[in-house]
Each structure stands twice: as structure tokens, then as C-alpha cells.
Structure 1
Amino acid sequence: MSHPEPRFFFTRRGFLTLSAATAATVGLSAFSSTDAHASAWPVASPLTPTADVSPTSVVTWDTRSDSWAARDGLGRVLPDFSEVGPPREDRFVGMFYFLWLGEHTTSGPWNIEQILAAHPEARDDKTHPAWGPMNDYHHWSEPAYGYYLSSDEWVIRRHARQLVDAGVDVVIFDATNGFDYPENYTALFDVYAAIRAEGERTPDIAFMCPWDPAKPLVKKLYQDIYAPGVHSDLWFTWKGKPLVLSNPALLGPDLRTLLGSDPAPLPVGATNGQTFTVAGNGRVVGARVPTWGSSTSGCTLTLRAGGPGGAVLATRTFTSIADNSICTVAPTTPLAAGTYYLEQSAPVGTVGWWTEPTSTVPGGQAYRNGTTVAGDRELYLEEGAVSTADVLDFFTFRDHQISFFAGQTGPNQWSWLEDHPQHEYLDGSGAVEQMSVSVAQNALNGRLAAMSEPTAQGRSFHAETLPSSGSLVRHGLNFQEQWDRVHDSDPEFVFVTGWNEWVAMRLDDWLVAEGDVIFVDQFDQEHSRDIEPMKGGHGDDYYYQLVSNIRRFKGVRDLEAATTPTSIAIDGSFSDWAAVGPTFRDHSGETAHRSEPGWGSAGTYTNTTGRNEILLSKVARDATTISFYVETAQTLTPRTDPNWMLLAIGIDGSTAPEWEGFQFIVNRTFATDGRSVLEASLGGWSWSAVTPVDIAISGNQLELAVPRAALGLAAATSVDLRFKWIDNPTVPGDMLDLLASGDTAPNGRFSYRYRASLP
């Protein structure tokens, strides 16, 4: 007679109990270097609907960020329509997103990079006083927005903009440790809803739940968010239903007892029974039934009120029972608080009920033929406001593979992080449904590892090697190798790990980690996997690498056509701009001030640099002049304000000195006659006056005109230029500062591109 298999519990950050055999499958065996293609799973899950992804909210303010240009800090240029082609509406990208910052420990902040820079000897000494307390969370470095908390709505809004500009379709919240952080997801939902109410896009949302036990959290999410329809327009749907990353097999009824150790046979004409109590909302009651290997056995289960002979609430007859099956019966309405009796009768063939000789069910009692006997019968009882059947029917489930190396081991399974070459995860038809991409992996030589191990697979790891020098850390070689694998396989969905984890718990011991100092998922710049920009280090390099690869995966829209040449009178009336196109739009709400608590001693973060909210801009041309227009949400502040409404201009193909790809700037200085001044870069943020230019300002509008010749453009020629508006930077010339200071249109390193044929 077979017995139930042992159970284990695993989380990603170091709290686990599992057998040695289980540990081997989780990541201690060597990965395969063969091609990751696999045969199709023969049967699609019955949970898989036929419909596809549902539309999101209506977009009325389209910034067309997929057509923006950018060059990152390493000189890498984003691909455009000519390189990647039009958008592919059947390709999707999910970003692993973290809501846990500030929810467990907030001592410090303890910055590992700073600790090691000041005390390199601490690298191999867990007793060094520079470390924070054991089991406290440490930051691997400092985010560009500071040591923020996940509830910071100012940061949440900026994240939404960055992710949607990159082409991310859904943020997938990390709930793998069993916490869902409702206050933080509520803050994010509210910000996303506000952005959508403004007519703009945000990513959708989904959750990735614990590997084991998933049941309580999935049901909690269903009860708290999905059943009441909380922000339903934000839900990411896959194959017609909201997506949840969880194993549906873990959503079975709750076992109210320990596993029974003694099978009690049921003779012909006899009954077995068990009383039990419920606190309310009892939905399903069941027994584990041994058949001693027979496949032709049967019996009847009857649910009664009170005890033996009580009123019948439900009954069900079972035939051809597989050995050790859980047979269940459900009342027509949930059981109220009280005592109930489950009775087994009418045996066919060899059948019984697993029993524990000692008492294990609180308030319960085993019975034979209506008379009490020692011990308790093994009992399954599902109780609660949420039905497992309802949850199973509501979601599209994708079981998330825990191993970095094993690949797909069953149908309807996805990966979240894998060693290269990543496996293809197939749907029921054999098509490649999903693959994962990660910045780095806490893996080493085919085994699970801690990021604090010096040769773990960091950001520079590629071709099965981690370079000895850290000089390549900005280049994202590991990240790109994983993306290249995805581009070759072309799945429907890519899961990217990750955006903003930032912290790891300092552990005294963990699994097979080598070394005295142990941090599992994050450690330092090399051994970390966040894409969100950091202060110093690689800055925003990984963000633009993400944008570039998503564009190659999903495609982009082409530039909108410029209207016919128009001569603009710089007179402050602005009426001659009405027929000029295209319109270059910026995100709204970016000048909101920040006053939010930070992590521990980081204190309150205050930012009041938001000033002129840039909404839209235009460009016009004629044979001799290039004219620019910009409109803000409110009346423009005085141009005597510092760093007021700067216009950076870059000429395609120019080899002149530049700042971040822009050869010219306007409005940095003004002439004595009131006109603005066009300046040329001398290299970097150093400028030399070229010529005064006409400018007119009225209310919330501004227009100016630059002579073609001053930009190095011959008369009556085509135009291909990039431009951006910058208001109130705190550190002029610093691209990372543009993420947080004032307003920039478009954001960060992005620029608008204007292309027009002969006038």
C-alpha cells in the first residue's frame, strides 16, 4: 500500500525545510547545455480558456513613447521602427516587482557597497561591526530615488512611467514569501488608477505566490481583490482570465489532521464515521480512502448534522476509487458553526478509511457502526468564505518552476529565473508560450548559490564565465545573453527578473552557501539583479538595455509624419501652430512634490523642484527656420527662474561636440534685448553662444525660432533632429538628475525625434 509523500516548505530567501533528494532537484544538479527545446505537453490543462489577453483602459493621452529616441550612458542607441518593425500585439512582457521595502526591517539603511568600500576586510568576516544586525535587510546599493519605501506614491508614479515607456505590460508582484503587502499594493493601485483616469497607460498587475503552501495567499488575494472587483481594469488577463502564478494543485482542501497511519477496513454492512467541528463556512468534507491496490472499489459518504443518525446534509457515492484517493462531499450551503458527522458506508470491494490511533481532531471522535472507537479518522475539511472551486475557475494559473535548471516539468508552467540557455515553456499545442530573462542569477556551477559567493553568476557573467575584472558590469552581458536566447525562441510572454528588489537578509547560514558572509538574492553591484536605476555605478544603463530588448521583441510604431512646411510668426498668438503636426506629448503629473518617509535613518524625502508641467510640444519648418512650440499645464513661471525651460537639440548625423547627443541648447541664457540665445556644446555641459533667437511667451505657451544655418542645416533640405525640454534640473548636465528634478519632456535620456522631408 502506498503512503502519502512527505511535504516540504520552500521560500526564496532562506527559510526552508527539505530533504536532500528534494534539494538536488531544486538546484544542486548540473544544468544541461543542450538546446532547451522540448516536445509539446500532450494535453492542455482544462483550466486554459480559449480567449486571449483582454484590453486595458482606454488611452486618450498617448505619448507614443515607443517612438522616442535615446542613447544610453555607454553610447548604445535604441532601435527604431526601421530596425524592429511594427508592434506585435501578441507579445507581452512582465516585470518582477517588489512591494516589500520597509515592511520587515528598516534598520540602517545598511548599504553593502558602501560597507565594502570602507571596510574591504568585512567581505569575509560576518562579525565585522560594519555589518548591520544578523537577519536584518541590507541594500546592495542605493536606488536613484533614494532608500524609498514601497508605499512612496511619488516613486510609484515614476516607476509606472518608466515601465510603460519601456514597453512592460504587467508588473508581477513578488508574494513568494507569503506576504502580499496590502497597504503597498493599495497605494500602487490608487496611483495607477489615477494615471489611467488621466488617459494614460500603466502596466497591468498580477501576483506570483508561494511555491508551498500557496493556498492561503491565493485565496486571500481572491477574497481581498478579485472577488470584490477591486480595480478590475488593472488585472492582467491571460487566455481570458486574470493571471496568477501559482500551482493550482496546492489549492486543495485543508487537512485538519495529521496523515493517518493505520488504514481501517470497512466490512460489508458496517459504517465508519468521524465527528468534527467547524467555525463556519464549511464547504467541503472528505476522507482519504485506501483500496489496497484495487481500482474497482467503491463506497458512499454521507454528511450529517450533529452525529450518527443526524439529519442528512449531503451524500455521494464513489466507484472505481484509486488507492488513497481523497473522496469529498459538499453541502448545498456552507456549514454553519457547529458539530457534524461524516459517515462511510456501502462498501464495494476492498475499501476503508485512514485512521490515526490517537486523537488528532479537536472536538472530534472516530466511530464504527455509530459507536465511538479510539482515535480519529483522517479528515479533509475546507472552510472559509472562499471556495477552492471558485478560485480555480476564476484564474488562469501558471505554476512557476522553482528550479533554475530543470526546465518545464508539467503543463501550464512558467519560469521566473533560469540559467542560460533558458528553457522554452510550451503550451498544450507545443507553441513556446513563455520564457524568462534575468539580469543575474544566484547560481554557480549548476547549483543554487548565494549572491555573496564571489563567483556567483553576476551581471557580467556570460559564456559560462564571470570576468575577473569588474570593468564590464555596466554592459549587462548576462542580461543580454539571456535576451538573445529569448529573441531566438520568440515566446508569447517574457518574464523579466527584476525591477526593484534592492535588499537581502543577512544570514548566518543558508543551504549550501560558501563563505562567512551570506546574502542570498542580492549582494553588490555585480551580484544583484535590479534594473531600476541606481545612484552612481551603472546608473540607468540596464534600463535602456531593457527598453532596447523589449523593442526588438515587441516592435514599435514609426514616427508620425510631419505636416507640410509652415512659417511661424514668433508673436505670442500661437494660432499658426494649430495645423502643425505631429504633437509630441509628455506624461502628466510629473511636477508633484514629494514628502515621503525613507528607510530607517534615511529620513523624510522632500522634493519641491516640480515647477512647469510640460504637456506637449511641436516643431515646424520652412526653408530658413526651425520653430519650436511648448505648452504647459499652468502659466509658465518667469524666465528669470534658474534653469528655466531649456530646449536641447540634436542634429542627426552631426559630428560636432555634444552633450549626451545634443549639440545645441536654448534658453540657458538670454540676450540683453530679451531674446533667447542658441548655444553650441563645447563638449559636455559646456556651452558657447551661437546667436540670439526670437522667443515669445504668453500664459502657458512658448514659441521660438532657430535659423537653420545656426544648426548647420542647409536651406530647403530635409530635417532629422532630436529634442527635449528640461525645466528646473537640480544638477544641470546630469541625466540621472532628470529622473527626479523638475520636469523633462520626454523623461530621462529619451528625446523626441522630428523627421521631415524637403520643405
Structure 2
Amino acid sequence: MNLKKNIYPCLIYVFTIIILFSTVIIPENAYAQNGVYDWLNAETHSPEYDFSNKNLAFYAKDDNLSLNNKGFLVFDGNTLSVKKDHSASIGGANYLGDYYGLSGGTLSFDTLVEEGSCLKVGIRCISQNADPYKKGIFFLFTEKAVSLSLPSIDFTTELSSQIDLSSAKKIEIRDTVDKIVLLIDGENCATLSYKEGGILSVYDASGNQKTETEATSVYSAGYWNIELQRAESAIWIDQLKFHFTEIDQTLPPREQREVSYQNWVASDDLGRVTRMGSQLGAQKKDKYVGIFYFLCVVGAGIHVQDNTKIYLESGVDGLKTYLKQKGGEGYWAEPYFGYYRNTDTWVYRKHAYMLDAAGVDFVFLDVSNSETFDKAHLALFDTWLQIRKEGGQTPQICFLTGNTEGRLESHMNRLLRTVYSDKNYEKYEELFFQWEGKPLIFGNPSGLSDEMKAVLKNFTVRGCWAWENQDGYWNWLQEVHYDEATGKYYMDKGRDPSGNFEQLAVAMGHHPSTSKGRSFVKGVQPNNGKNDFEFSSETAGLGLGFASQFEIAIEMDPQIIMITGWNEWIAGLPRDASYTHFANTDVDGYMYIDQFNPEFSRDGEPMKIRSGVGFGDNYYYQMVDYIRKFKGIDAELLAGGQDTIDIHGDLSQWDHVSPEFRDTIGDTAFRNEPSYDLEFRYINNSGRNDFDYAKVSQDHDSLYFFVKTVHDIVWDDGENCMNLYIDLDKNHETGWEGYDYVLNRSHSDTHMTLEKFIGNTWEGENIGEAEYVLLGDSLIVKVEKSRFGIESGNMINFDFKWSDHSTTSGNVMEFMDLGDTAPNDRFKFRYLIADGIDISKENGLSTAAIISLIAGGALLVLVVSVVLIFKFVGKKG
């Protein structure tokens, strides 16, 4: 018998079969991609100028250019120069490259610089006609040398002293976001490597690193600018070329695409879990929730005053000194989405998704003072209307004009020129929150003109202010009272003009001026006695007052509950010698009325946590839970159509699998918006794969996951690419943020890693692999139950979540603003199957057991294969 002759073909056959069954061809439209994604509607423009036109007005009117000190510019028909002993600049009216820092762009020009003159070229500038003392990257050219200047950190370094610009040279700056290359006549002069936070590594022409800077806060994109500083000697530029890319992320119109939240569940940092329909009962009819929504952050263009930040940096005494000497309009803390302005449509989009998921039916906009914030409320209406055109859902909107007599009429006259105008009424009508069949508006109806009375016949009018107890009035803030006769706590009822009970208000907090904060419960406010504005309060983040009022409101059973509030954030600082005490603290001549710090504030929008001070998004999920308790929510949908899935087969296998776990779409929008302080911007281009919906199936031995995105999946080797998180035991106390496993921190062409989180940390240990198939806009994953220590035949319940291009740090709040997740934020999808088993930490197998099981299985397969081979060889022999 020739053993070698017979065994080699057998081995080749076996391994060929293995390769064929384990290999999948990734189609061309599932790809790794840097730069502007193919699915974006992007148009690149490449203007060129030879300066043959001598007319200054020609350039001043050009929409692509921005001129500064234009009276000193000289257009001689060949070049652009500047008058002697003067400086002037030409720059872009658009960013170099795209607006979001996806792909960068190239700037080039010919130049001559003689001794004594200087050319300053800025890129990634925060504003047009860049101030050299502001953020940006600046190259300074003299006749013989070029240097790099970073004004934001007062940094300058020479790049080369071997150039000669006394004769014309071509300057080219290639910005590809993570790298900036400076070329002179086509030769590399220097390279800058860009890292997160604006850290720059500087390399010379030979590729040797010269230095690495500290964080510069320079952004990934910005304006370009060329400043010509002329002495007696000559300086000019010519043949100017640059690129900019316009990006439109608008989704095409589609029919209403309802997202059901009945299988969405979340846990906050306190371990509180949002209750589900199976615990609370079905959705109730005619129950509504509104929330106080603010437009007051117009942005002063000056440095931000953040009371919590100042306290953490300077202590109580330092904060008191600051407030006494120069305090003014201040934030009580930093919002999680930053110190945004009231025209930031990215934030308005995020708010729509968050509030709709919470069960909020309408927002009532605060226009109770002199302003109606026309630009802001139109931006809000337009953003939410666009979401609806894309098939999404948003709350509806109404206005609160305050309780000052005459303000209802004056503000209504303004609104009749914006959203209620003849031109716009029909456009925005679907966004108007209606009560009694008409758009609702809050205001004092006293003293109205006959003309306004006629207008308001088309609206439902209710008075609305704090602590009101009269017919025709609702409240936006109220306190709890005790009825000695019944022994019950109650709140004053919001009533229609006939005295019928309609509404109640619940508050997340009250007023620092009255020393009533978030912990104010049934008339009692804790006082730690430290005279520190309760910054050291241990109850600020617990929502004690909010819970107390909500419980009473639910028991009183109104039609509407109105919550104060969502996004007020700032308050002014009035001064008077009589102001000697607020927020449980003695002060000297100043006071904050509405908002001051974590305890004495009333916003539910998530905040950033600094040095352990604050409560993140806890109030948001507490609000979600109480809204569900008040309104009810339908029971969780059970899995149907469960079957074995051939992941290499046709996608039609999934047609009968239910439910369809839907995510909100359109929430991968990019952001580039100025902050309250104009020296800062918020640029976020992390949105990539926009999740549409997910499905799950299981058989006796495997779990099958399907996820679809709005566009073809962008696929790369990043650890945060298309991750699948599994909370096997549905327990927030185990694993990282409740998740026990994560898939796809790395992958091959056919398999992705399966990691088990180590304790409660972000770190994971690799316990195996899962097979996957990538098909355009769809990803299918098969995970063997044995990987989790689940015995064959057991059908299981669990929670899961998809995430793309999101957190790499383990900060769970980054699910809110980085990339996309399905479902949003901290929410998870709850997968339940009839007669499914709930896995607990106690009855699951240990990691060691799982690894042993896998290893044993692999050994068994190997032994069987060898036996079969030798048996086959023996027969042949």
C-alpha cells in the first residue's frame, strides 16, 4: 500500500472543503472607506484664479472668496499683490475640503516673496479672514525660510531655511485630515500628522520627526486664508487653486416609518431599569406629556461661565469671588452636547429622537420674555419637519408666551409672521400640538384687541404660569400640598375655563433663589450645612423631588402632565444688596433665580460629568420610566418565525422572522456648529452606518442576527466597526454596562471575534469567533450557543444592541453622540421568545468552561477527521 500516494489527496480534499465552506466573498459595495462616503450627496468644486481681471469688485462679489482689508489689495492683471507697507488677505468663503473634516482638500498658488515681506498661509482656521491669534495652522513664508505657527498654544518652529522665494515658486498644501503635506515646487518641505485633540507631529522633508505638540484644539477642518504683508520689497501670488466639497445628507422623502419603543429597555448609572409594558399595562388613550423647551442660549460670543466647572477648579471661595467680581450669565453645568447655541440643528435632531423615544408628545417653547427667538424656533420647526419628511417621528410644538398682560398679543403678532403666517401655516401644521381640535398656545388672555380675539378663535388658549390655581390656567411649575382632611398630598389642578381638570406639572427642580432644588420633596429641602451651594449634595442625582411629584401626578390622573424642563441651562445674575442667601448658602449681593448648579437646576437633558460631579443622563431615563408608567406602553413583542438560517443563503429567509427591531434613521447627521463661545466649534463626522432595523432568529444550537442599514455598509478594521453587544442575563450589574459579550472588535473575511467582558470593565477576553456574511446594506451573524455555555435545545431571552463608529473608551454616554447605535443611546432591544429561558449569572457557564467546551469540540472534530481519512486510506489500500 502506498500510504503517501493515498493520504495526500484525502487531506487536500478535506482542507479544500473546509476552505470552501468557511470563505465568503465580500461584495464590492461592502468596503472600507476613508473620506467622503459614496452614499453622501457630495459635490466638489475647484475654483481657479489667474488674477487677469483687474476689477476688485469681481473678487469681492465672488461667493467662493472672502477678502480682508480689500482696499489694500492690488490686482494688476497678472498677479495679486498688496500696497507697500500694508497687509491684506484673500481667503475661502468655504472650508478647504468639506465642512466636516472627512476628506480635506488642496490649496495651491504661485508666489514670490522678497526680503522684508512675509506671506502667512492659514488652514483649518476657525473663521474667515483668520485672525492670526485665533485657532488654525499657519505657515509663514519669508524670502529664505518657512516656519509653522500654532497661535492657540503659542508655538512656532522653523520648517526650513533652505528655500528661495525671491524667484517664483509653487506652494501646495495637501490636507487629507490626518496628514498635511507642504510642497514647494513639488518637493516635500514638511509633513504634519494630525491626531485627536489637535495634537500635531511635525516631520521634516526627509521624514524625520522634529517635534510633537500638545493638544492645540485645532479642528479637523476649517477655512483657508492667505495674508500678504508687504514692506518695500515685492510680494505677490498667482494661479490660485483650491478645493471645497459641498455635502448634503438629506434623506429622500418617504412614508411615515413608525418606530415602536415597546422592546426598548435601558438602565441608568444608578441601576434603575425602565419598566416595560408587561409590567405597566397597555398604552392608555388620551394621555399626553409635554416638556418645557428653551431657546434662550443665543451665545454671547464670549468665554463660557460654567458654575460647576469654576467650583471644581477654584472651590467654593473661588466661585464666590468670581461671582462677586465678574459673574454674569452662566451655565449651571456643561450640557452633554456642549455649550451649543439655539440654532444648532444637529442638537435639535438629537433632541427629537430622545424625546420621542421617551414618550414626550409635545414641547412648549419658552417665549415668556421679550424675545420670540425667530431664527431658533424656525430652525427647530424646519429640523423636525425634515425628520418627518424622512419618515421619522418627532414631538409636536406649541408656545408659552408667559403671564405678562399684552405679551400674548405682541408675541402672537410675531408668530403670525413666522410659523403661523399664511405662507407657512400649512407647511408646519403637522407640528402644531392641538388641544380641543386647535393649535394650543399659552398666554395671559387679558386685554386682547378685537383683532387678536378674532385670530385666537382658531387656537385653544390656556393661561400657564407657576403656582397657579384658577380656571383657565395650567402650570409649568408647582409644589406639593398636604390635605389634612384626606391625609393625601396633592398639587393644584390645571383647569379649562369651565373648571374641568386637565393638567398637572411636575418638576425636576425648582429655584436656587428659594433654596428649593432637585431634592425638594413634599416641602422639605435637605441642607448639608456646609454653605457650599450643595455642590457636595449626595442626593442631587437621585431625582427625589421629580419622583415624588410624578407619583402624586399619576395618582391624580390628569389628561396631561407637563415636565419642567429639558434644556434651559443658563441664567442671569441679578445684583442687589438685599441678596444675601440662595442655594442654601450665604452670599454678598447677588443671586441666581432659575438655575445655578447640579442640585439647584431643573434640566432633564443629559449633562457632562466632571470629576464625579453631576449625574449624566440619569434624569432622562427616570423621565422615560415615569412617562411609561403614566401613559402605559404596549407589551413587548415576542419573537416569531424562528428557524435555522443559512447565512450564505438568500435574504428572503428573514422575511418571516419577527419582530423588526427598528432604529431611528437620519441620526448619523454630521455636525459643525459654533459654541456659545465663538472661539470654539463642535465638529462631529462620526456618523457612518445608519441603522435601519435588526432581526434575530434562533434554533436549538445557534443564534442568528441580521441588521440592515440605510446605505451600503462602510466596513473597516476599526475595533468599533459594526459591533454587536449582547446582555445575556438582562442584568445591568453584570458585564460592562450590563453587556456580557461584544462581537467584532476584530475580524477576518469570514469570522468576527466574540469577547466576554472582564467583570464590569470595558476590557474583554476573546472566547471564540462567530461567522458572518456582509451583503451591501446587510450584515448577518451566526453565533453558536455553546460559546455562551448554553445547552443545545434551550431557547433563550436576552437584550442586544448594534453600534457602529461609536465609543472606543468605554464611556457609555458616547452612544449618544458618536456614530450610530440601534437602539439609540443607552437603550437595548429586548428579545423574547415564548417559553424562552432567562439566563442568570449563576446558571451560566464560566469562561473557562466555555473555552474547554470549544477546545474539546475542536479536538473531537480533528480526531474524527483523522479516523475517517485513515479508514478511507485503508479501504483504498
TM exceeding 0.5: yes
Matching residue of 2:505: 436
How many angstroms apart in 1 are the aligned matches of 2:657 and 2:261?
20
Matching residue of 2:169: none
What is the identity, as a one-letter code, of the residue corresponding to 2:461? F
Q: For residue 150 of structure 1, report the CA deviation from its aligned partner.
A: 1.1
**8 A contact 1:66–1:551 mirrored in 2:** no
Matching residue of 1:726: 803
Q: For residue 572 of structure 1, report the CA deviation from its aligned partner.
A: 6.1
Q: Does 1:401 align with 2:462?
A: no
How many angstroms apart in 2 are the aligned matches of 1:687 and 1:99?
43
Q: Does 1:247 align with 2:444?
A: yes
- For residue 774 of structure 2, give the secondary structure of its aligned residue in structure 1: strand
Matching residue of 2:418: 224
How many angstroms apart in 2 are the aligned matches of 1:653 and 1:498?
31
What is the identity, as a one-letter code, of the residue corresponding to 1:423? D
Q: For residue 427 of structure 1, report the CA deviation from its aligned partner.
A: 3.9
Q: For residue 602 of structure 1, report the CA deviation from its aligned partner.
A: 5.2
Matching residue of 2:476: 416
Q: For residue 630 of structure 1, report the CA deviation from its aligned partner.
A: 0.7
2:362 to 167, 170, 174: 170
* CA pair 581-196 structure 1, distance change in 2 beyond 3 A: same
What is the identity, as a one-letter code, of the residue corresponding to 1:156? Y
How many angstroms apart in 2 are the aligned matches of 1:224 and 1:702?
45
How many angstroms apart in 1 are the aligned matches of 2:690 and 2:526?
45
What is the identity, as a one-letter code, of the residue corresponding to 1:462? V
**8 A contact 1:589–1:613 mirrored in 2:** yes
Matching residue of 1:45: none
Matching residue of 1:534: 607
Q: For residue 465 of structure 1, report the CA deviation from its aligned partner.
A: 2.7
Q: Deviations over 1:435-470 (max 9, x none)?
A: 00111111xxxxxxxx166xx111122241325251
* CA pair 576-62 structure 1, distance change in 2 beyond 3 A: same
Q: Does 1:556 align with 2:633?
A: yes
**8 A contact 1:508–1:518 mirrored in 2:** yes
**8 A contact 1:582–1:618 mirrored in 2:** yes
Mean Cα deviation higher: 716-725 or 158-167:
716-725
How many angstroms apart in 2 are the aligned matches of 1:574 and 1:605?
40
How many angstroms apart in 2 are the aligned matches of 1:661 and 1:758?
23
What is the identity, as a one-letter code, of the residue corresponding to 1:541? N
**8 A contact 1:178–1:210 mirrored in 2:** no
* CA pair 477-127 structure 1, distance change in 2 beyond 3 A: closer
How many angstroms apart in 2 are the aligned matches of 1:95 and 1:250?
28
Q: Deviations over 1:332-381 (max 9, x none)?
A: xxxxxxxxxxxxxxxxxxxxxxxxxxxxxxxxxxxxxxxxxxxxxxxxxx
How many angstroms apart in 2 are the aligned matches of 1:577 and 1:539?
38
Q: For residue 240 of structure 1, report the CA deviation from its aligned partner.
A: 1.2
1:738 to 815, 821, 834: 815
- For residue 436 of structure 1, give the secondary structure of its aligned residue in structure 2: strand
**8 A contact 1:657–1:681 mirrored in 2:** no
Aligned ranges 1:366-381 → 2 under 5 Å: none
1:666 to 738, 743, 751: 743
Matching residue of 1:121: 317
- For residue 576 of structure 1, give the secondary structure of its aligned residue in structure 2: helix
- For residue 82 of structure 1, give the secondary structure of its aligned residue in structure 2: helix
Q: Deviations over 1:277-296 (max 9, x none)?
A: xxxxxxx6xxxxxxxxxxxx
What is the identity, as a one-letter code, of the residue corresponding to 1:237? Q
Q: For residue 601 of structure 1, report the CA deviation from its aligned partner.
A: 4.4
Q: For residue 415 of structure 1, report the CA deviation from its aligned partner.
A: 0.4
**8 A contact 2:718–2:745 mirrored in 1:** no
**8 A contact 1:66–1:166 mirrored in 2:** no
How many angstroms apart in 2 are the aligned matches of 1:248 and 1:613?
46
**8 A contact 2:254–2:391 mirrored in 1:** yes
Q: For residue 392 of structure 1, report the CA deviation from its aligned partner.
A: 2.7
**8 A contact 2:292–2:564 mirrored in 1:** yes
- For residue 692 of structure 2, give the secondary structure of its aligned residue in structure 1: strand
Identity rate of aligned residues, in percent? Answer: 33
Pairwise CA RMSD: 2.2
2:541 to 462, 474, 481: 474
2:263 to 45, 52, 67: 67
* CA pair 159-716 structure 1, distance change in 2 beyond 3 A: same
**8 A contact 2:574–2:591 mirrored in 1:** yes
Aligned ranges 1:69-218 → 2 under 5 Å: 69-102=265-298, 105-119=300-314, 120-125=316-321, 128-129=324-325, 131-132=326-327, 136-212=328-404, 213-214=406-407, 215-218=409-412
**8 A contact 1:461–1:467 mirrored in 2:** no
**8 A contact 2:256–2:388 mirrored in 1:** no
- For residue 657 of structure 2, give the secondary structure of its aligned residue in structure 1: coil
How many angstroms apart in 2 are the aligned matches of 1:498 and 1:178?
20
How many angstroms apart in 2 are the aligned matches of 1:459 and 1:505?
20
1:612 to 669, 689, 699: 689
How many angstroms apart in 2 are the aligned matches of 1:510 and 1:202?
46
What is the identity, as a one-letter code, of the residue corresponding to 1:460? S
Q: Does 1:491 align with 2:538?
A: no
How many angstroms apart in 2 are the aligned matches of 1:489 and 1:102?
38
Matching residue of 1:506: 573
* CA pair 142-127 structure 1, distance change in 2 beyond 3 A: closer
Please give the TM-score of this superposition, normalised by the length of structure 2: 0.60
Q: For residue 250 of structure 1, report the CA deviation from its aligned partner.
A: 3.5
Runs of 5+ unmatched residues, structure 1: 1-56, 254-283, 285-386, 443-450
Q: Deviations over 1:522-572 (max 9, x none)?
A: 101111111000011200000000000000000112222311321011216
Runs of 5+ unmatched residues, structure 2: 1-252, 482-490, 529-535, 582-586, 837-877
**8 A contact 1:738–1:747 mirrored in 2:** yes
**8 A contact 1:572–1:698 mirrored in 2:** no
2:703 to 619, 626, 629: 626
**8 A contact 2:730–2:798 mirrored in 1:** no
**8 A contact 2:725–2:743 mirrored in 1:** yes
* CA pair 708-467 structure 1, distance change in 2 beyond 3 A: farther
* CA pair 400-676 structure 1, distance change in 2 beyond 3 A: same
How many angstroms apart in 2 are the aligned matches of 1:118 and 1:655?
33
Matching residue of 1:332: none
- For residue 756 of structure 1, give the secondary structure of its aligned residue in structure 2: coil
Tell me: higher relative CO, structure 1 or 2? Use CA pairs within 8 A at least 6 residues apart: 1
**8 A contact 1:143–1:533 mirrored in 2:** yes
**8 A contact 1:172–1:208 mirrored in 2:** yes
Mean Cα deviation higher: 531-540 or 655-664:
655-664
**8 A contact 2:606–2:619 mirrored in 1:** yes
How many angstroms apart in 2 are the aligned matches of 1:668 and 1:583?
25
Q: For residue 655 of structure 1, report the CA deviation from its aligned partner.
A: 9.2
Matching residue of 1:272: none
Matching residue of 1:753: 830
Q: Deviations over 1:636-666 (max 9, x none)?
A: 1224134100100112356994111111111
Q: For residue 510 of structure 1, report the CA deviation from its aligned partner.
A: 9.0
Q: Deviations over 1:669-692 (max 9, x none)?
A: 33x674112111112212112221
How many angstroms apart in 2 are the aligned matches of 1:478 and 1:637?
46
* CA pair 655-434 structure 1, distance change in 2 beyond 3 A: closer
Q: Does 1:695 align with 2:768?
A: no
**8 A contact 2:717–2:746 mirrored in 1:** no
1:708 to 765, 785, 790: 785
Q: For residue 199 of structure 1, report the CA deviation from its aligned partner.
A: 1.6
1:460 to 500, 515, 519: 519
Q: Structure 1 stretches (4+) deviating beyond 6 angstroms? A: 510-513
Q: For residue 247 of structure 1, report the CA deviation from its aligned partner.
A: 1.8
**8 A contact 1:109–1:602 mirrored in 2:** no
How many angstroms apart in 1 are the aligned matches of 2:312 and 2:673?
29
Please give the TM-score of this superposition, normalised by the length of structure 1: 0.69
How many angstroms apart in 1 are the aligned matches of 2:823 and 2:319?
41
How many angstroms apart in 1 are the aligned matches of 2:726 and 2:693?
16
Q: For residue 97 of structure 1, report the CA deviation from its aligned partner.
A: 0.3
Q: For residue 123 of structure 1, report the CA deviation from its aligned partner.
A: 4.3
**8 A contact 2:284–2:632 mirrored in 1:** yes
